[in-house]
Structure 1
Amino acid sequence: MASDNPIYDKIKQAHASLTTAARSSKGKDVLMYLLFVLIAAVFWLLLSLDSEVTKDYEIPIEIVEVPDSVHLLGNVPPAINVAVRGKGAQLIRYEWGGMPKLVLKFKDYASPDERISISRIRLDARLRDYFGNGVVVNNIKPDTIGVAYTTNPGIKMPLHIVADIKPDLQYTLSGPVTASTDTVTVYSMDALPADMKYVVTEPVAMSGVKDTTQVSVAVKAIANAKIVPATVDVTIPVEPLISKRRQATIDVVGLPAHTSLITFPSKVTFSYLVPMSVYNKDFPLRAYVDYDDVNTVTNKIPVRIGAVPPVFSGVAVMPDSVEYIIERVD
């Protein structure tokens, strides 16, 4: 009798088909074959677990229980590569899942000369504890770990960004390039140079930038010192440029006494590109002619452009020269 659930019916039909197949002569042969394969796999697994094998592992390491007053001046390697030899049964738990950390206590390896030093012999001892008895450590890379530290207080220093940014055409920087912090702390065993006034980032060079971008940048290292933070997020503000036009009355400069100069036309049109964020803001633009540029042959005088706001680019004026007449004024 069919049920109201079509999925249940399909499962029931599949089960019936498998049962019928398994009870057939051919089905029994297949089941017998699979049984022998399973038995062979179990024997192979038991033999491999009892045999001696050589394996390579990457073991993460961590220095723990470091006092708050201590600052490591170098980088402890995040992991060591270890080649070991042992029974398959001893190493099987490391074949699946992540490798547990090799934990090293600071006080066990700190020396009076402010240095953590872990020799090959001491690493061997810790790795024997890590893997257990019966596992032989053949090789370790690196085979020693050494890093200096200091208990001296840190020195706050300004951070300067070294950047060479070239926005794409029709785009511009809309503000200064900034970092997630403008101050870093420098820890050092020795006094910093007297002429050292700030710390810099590694150079940031980008071209063709079309949108505000954030990148992670390393702070440039200082010998025998640690800088916190070691990396900062640098923000590069970029926005599109928009074309704009406006008119301005032509001013006249350099007139002699009792002289007047009238231009035709009296106004010119500026065209320029401006960042989108300041499109609706009014910035002063000045067009002028200089009496010293009077040309009696062409009866035209060039139009000069005054100081241009720094946010403008590609400023042009039309027309770039105008006709004029000169009058004497009593």
Structure 2
Amino acid sequence: MNRIKALIKKPGKRFYVFLVCLLIATFFWVLNALTKEYSLTISVPVEYAGVPDEKVIVNAPPKAVSFRVRGEGFNLLGVSKKDEFEPVTVDLRNYTTFGDDEVERKVVDAGSIRNLVNDELGDYLDIDQLSADSIQVLIEERMAKKVPVELDLNVTVNEQYTLQSDPFSTPDSVVAKGPKSEVRELTKVFTKRLQLDDLETTVNEDLPVVSNSAKMNFEPASVKVTVPVEQLTQGSTKVKIETINLPDSLTLSTYPRVVTVNFKTGLSHFDSIDEKQFKAQVDYSSVLKNQPPKLYVNVTSKNDHVKVISYSPENVEYIIRSR
């Protein structure tokens, strides 16, 4: 060791002879190591071809196959340095079809997989321990069907505003395309969920149509969703009181005969609001129970865009007569 240190401190002819010998020894050691057989696990992408346009793969065959390769170190060195491999293409037209008229089944056996991989890697490596003994591919007819779009919305508006109409989409339906077994069961599709809070203006937004199936697609893939918002206004109208649950042998008169209803609605609906938008009712059944001196008037709106604020009177006198 001391002699080596001395050579390094004062390099001379003997040092360079030593260095050359060391390099030669290292070279032969590496050369010997690379001629030995080693094994390595690699993964190669798989692509599937040969499916007609009118058909679609409905299962999820592997997108890659893993296996161990054996070979001399020289050959494995080039393989191990690859970040990724070119995909091997499985042409499904080359394989026998099994199954029924609805679902075709193609089976790619281990030998075929091995041959495809050999074409990619070359014959100088031995392949064993494939991750899949076979690959099964299921194929169905492709189907197209027009289905309505349902909006997945959660909307609140500012207390001084209201929805002018129900939210809607343009278009209101899409064409679903995918495996026949899935499309024929489809009755509607949904948009991506949209949360809108405290709105004061109309909102227009493009939303994608969503599906639980990766094999399904839509035309168009998105729709324009409109949430129409307008300012509220208030008004009042007189509504005639009706009696419910009254026997045909009796008549019931109320005093007064009408109630004044105060309401609020959107500006665009205001001019069309009249007494026909409301129901004012007294119930004869309450007379049979306790014979009250006055009857309670129940007022409701028939229009989803009109809200009752208050009404007067809330209780009315009444007279019952026989016919």
Place the TM-score, normalised by the shorter chain, in its bin.
0.5 to 0.7
| Residue type at the aligned position of 1:116 | K
Separation (CA, whole Å) in 2 of partners of 1:138 and 1:320 = 90
Report Cα offsets for 1:58-112 as digits up to 9, x if no partner: 3211123444566545443222223323345434356344321111223332347
Task: Name the residue aligned to 2:122.
Answer: 132
Looking at structure 2, the residues matched to 179 and 80 of structure 1 have their Cα atoms a distance apart, in angstroms, of: 43
- Once residues 36 and 126 of structure 2 are traced to their aligned partners in structure 1, the CA distance between those partners, rounded to angstroms, is 14
Q: How does 1:135-150 map to 2 (within 5 A)?
A: 135-149=125-139
Q: Which runs of 5+ in 2 are unaligned?
A: 1-18, 198-204, 244-250, 319-323
Deviation of the 1:198 alpha carbon: 3.9
Kindly provide the amino acid, as one letter, of the partner of residue 129 in structure 2: N
1:201–1:217: 8 Å Cα contact kept in structure 2?
Answer: no
Distance 1:319 1:252, change over 3 A: closer
SS of the aligned residue for 1:270 comes to strand
> Which protein has the bigger strand share?
2
Structure 2 CA distance for aligned equivalents of residues 299 and 88 of structure 1: 103
Q: Which amino acid aligns with 2:96?
A: A
Match of 2:154 in 1: 167
2:297 counterpart of 1:302: yes
Partner residue, 1:33:
none
2:96 maps to 1:103: no
For 1:145, the aligned partner's letter is I
Q: CA deviation at 1:317?
A: 1.9
Q: Which residue of 1 aligns with 2:310?
A: 318
SS of 2:86's partner is coil
1:214 aligned residue: 208
Task: Report SS of the residue matched to 2:40.
Answer: strand
TM-score (norm 2): 0.56
Query: What does the per-residue CA deviation read over 1:112-167, in whole Å, with 9 as the maximum and x for residues that have no partner?
Result: 765422111221222222211232223222231122446xx655545467x79461
Matches within 5 A, 1:154-233: 156-159=144-147, 165=152, 167=154, 169-170=156-157, 174-175=167-168, 181-184=174-177, 186-187=179-180, 198-199=185-186, 209-210=195-196, 213-214=207-208, 216-219=210-213, 229=217, 233=221
Q: Is the 8 A contact 2:37 2:73 kept in 1?
A: yes
CA distance, structure 1, for counterparts of residue 260 and residue 49 of structure 2: 76
User: Relative to 1, partners in 2 of residues 1:66 and 1:239: Cα closer, same or farther, differing over 3 Å?
Assistant: closer
Tell me the distance in 2 between the aligned counterparts of 1:297 and 1:73: 70
Verify: 1:79 aligned to 2:64, yes or no: yes
Out of 225, 249, 269, the residue aligned to residue 237 of structure 2 is 249
8 A Cα contact 1:180 1:234, kept in partner: no
1:61 aligns to what? 46
Contact 1:177 1:235 in 2 (8 A): yes
Contact 2:282 2:298 in 1 (8 A): no
Name the CA shift for 1:149/1:186 in 2 (closer, same or farther; >3 Å): closer
Q: Which amino acid aligns with 2:42?
A: Y
CA distance in 2, matches of 1:115, 1:291: 69
- Taking structure 1 as reference, are residues 130 and 236 closer, same or farther at Cα in structure 2, changes over 3 Å only? same
Coordinate RMSD, CA, aligned: 5.2
Alpha-carbon spacing, 1:76–1:243, altered in 2? closer, same or farther (3 Å) = same
Query: What is the aligned length?
Result: 261
State the distance in 2 between where 1:70 and 1:205 align: 27
TM-score of the pair, normalised by structure 1: 0.55
Structure 1 residues 298 and 287, CA gap change in structure 2 (3 angstroms): farther
Q: In the alignment, is the contact (CA less than 8 A) between 1:269 and 1:317 conserved in 2?
A: yes
CA distance in 2: counterparts of 1:139 and 1:232, whole angstroms: 45
Kept after mapping to 2: 8 A contact 1:178/1:235: yes
